[in-house]
């Protein structure tokens, strides 16, 4: 099997998880400069913002980095007459941060084509995707430009589908992981497989390198992942807690105070199943029983979440974190990276 380090142009088999809305050039560059693969989540970014982000990253690092996008699944809703009703349902949260419910936008998300045009211009070393198998045209164009493509699976069947679709590597993400469950063949609630079960089965089922994600926060998790067949690890929460991430103090405090059995899977904040800390927003939205479909819910809550984040109001933010959050004790990206490398076998 191809050595993933050689494939991606990195020295250490450690990948920074991409964070939708919480990525930062500082953290991405820190991981890349340390010899891993820094990743940056582009959820919701239009073409101009993608180009600006690429420029900001290249001002900080000459090392390879990855961009991450969400593939359309076909069931995304467009802004319509129901927007106002969904906004009224969330009115208490807008009031709590002192803003009016937002008017209906022209679109909730930029198009995939717009994002890809900017990504081709930016030419990252790696393009990682979630929520599906990239089309043949996307894979072919990426490869033509020398860009490696990485897909993300929550089940063995998804990993096989990604390999059949021509990706260069597969992220096997266990249900312990923070943030969105990126299942695409079956509903997320029916695809909740822990990493210890998922990883060896994916490694047996595919021939491309497998990157392990979910619940890995220190050298012990890294060593276990390699023992189970991983070629690399992808780490999120441990890096999210560091000073270089875009998380604020309230979010970092939640990471360090939420026990493994206290994190929850919820559709409250985005309309798609995600793992994070329970807070006022999650509890009250779930209790209301009124959750708009994706991406309407994510766009609407994003308006009050942004203000809450600026003010450090953790009860009204999306506090994404994984089940190994209590292990995320290191304060800098370099400290996390140094700890993780101690778990890598001498000759992985």
Q: What is residue 1's predicted lDDT score, i.e. its pLDDT?
A: 65
- CA distances 130 to 35, 98, 158, 170, 173, Å, are 24, 34, 11, 10, 11
Mean predicted confidence (pLDDT) in 25-53: 98
Query: Going by C-beta distance under 8 Å and a sequence separation of 6 or more, which residues neighbour residue 1?
Result: 207, 208, 209, 231
Mean predicted confidence (pLDDT) in 164-180: 98
3-state class of 325 per DSSP?
helix
Q: What is the DSSP letter of 185?
A: S
Mean predicted confidence (pLDDT) in 131-141: 98
348: pLDDT strictly greater than 60: no
Of the chain, the percentage scoring pLDDT greater than 70 comes to 99
Among candidates 188, 224, 226, 221, which has minimal Cα distance to 13? 226
Average pLDDT, the chain: 97
305: pLDDT strictly greater than 80: yes
Domain 4-341 is found in CATH 3.30.1520.10: no
Mean predicted confidence (pLDDT) in 126-130: 98
Mean predicted confidence (pLDDT) in 98-123: 97
Mean predicted confidence (pLDDT) in 147-168: 98
Mean predicted confidence (pLDDT) in 162-182: 98
Mean predicted confidence (pLDDT) in 134-163: 98
| Contact by Cβ (8 Å): 90, 304 | yes
Mean predicted confidence (pLDDT) in 155-172: 98
User: pLDDT confidence of 21, banded at 50, 70, 90?
Assistant: confident
Q: What is residue 228's predicted lDDT score, i.e. its pLDDT?
A: 98
Confirm whether pTM is higher than 0.75: yes
Backbone angles phi, psi at 315, to 5 degrees: -70, -10
User: pLDDT confidence of 229, banded at 50, 70, 90?
Assistant: very high
């Amino acid at each position: 099997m191809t050595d993933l380090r050689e494939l991606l142009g990195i020295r250490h088999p450690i990948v920074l998880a991409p964070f939708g809305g919480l990525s930062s050039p500082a953290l991405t560059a820190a991981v890349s400069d340390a010899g891993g693969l820094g990743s940056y989540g582009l959820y919701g970014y239009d073409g101009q913002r993608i180009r600006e982000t690429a420029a900001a990253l290249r001002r900080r690092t000459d090392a390879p980095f990855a961009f991450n996008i969400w593939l359309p699944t076909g069931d995304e809703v467009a802004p319509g007459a129901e927007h106002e009703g969904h906004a009224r349902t969330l009115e208490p949260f807008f009031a709590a941060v002192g803003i009016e419910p937002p008017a209906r936008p022209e679109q909730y998300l930029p198009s995939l084509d717009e994002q890809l045009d900017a990504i081709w211009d930016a030419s990252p070393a790696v393009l990682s995707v979630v929520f599906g198998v990239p089309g043949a045209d996307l894979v072919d164009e990426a490869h033509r430009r020398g860009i490696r493509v990485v897909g993300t699976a929550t089940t063995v069947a998804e990993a096989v589908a990604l390999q059949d679709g021509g990706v260069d590597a597969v992220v096997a993400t266990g249900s312990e992981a923070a943030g969105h469950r990126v299942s695409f063949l079956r509903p997320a609630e029916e695809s909740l497989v822990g990493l210890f079960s998922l990883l060896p089965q994916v490694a047996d089922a595919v021939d491309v390198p497998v990157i392990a994600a979910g619940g890995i926060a220190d050298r012990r998790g890294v060593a276990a992942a390699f023992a189970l067949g991983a070629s690399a690890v992808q780490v999120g929460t441990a890096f999210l807690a560091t000073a270089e991430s875009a998380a604020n103090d309230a979010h970092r405090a939640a990471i360090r105070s939420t026990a493994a059995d206290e994190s929850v899977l919820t559709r409250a904040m985005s309309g798609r199943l995600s793992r994070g800390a329970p807070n006022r927003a999650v509890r009250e939205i779930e209790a209301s029983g009124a959750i708009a479909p994706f991406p309407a819910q994510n766009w609407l809550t994003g308006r009050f979440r942004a203000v809450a984040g600026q003010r450090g109001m953790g009860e009204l933010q999306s506090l994404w974190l994984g089940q190994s959050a209590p292990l995320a004790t290191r304060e800098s990206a370099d400290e996390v990276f140094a700890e993780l490398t101690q778990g890598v076998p001498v000759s992985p």
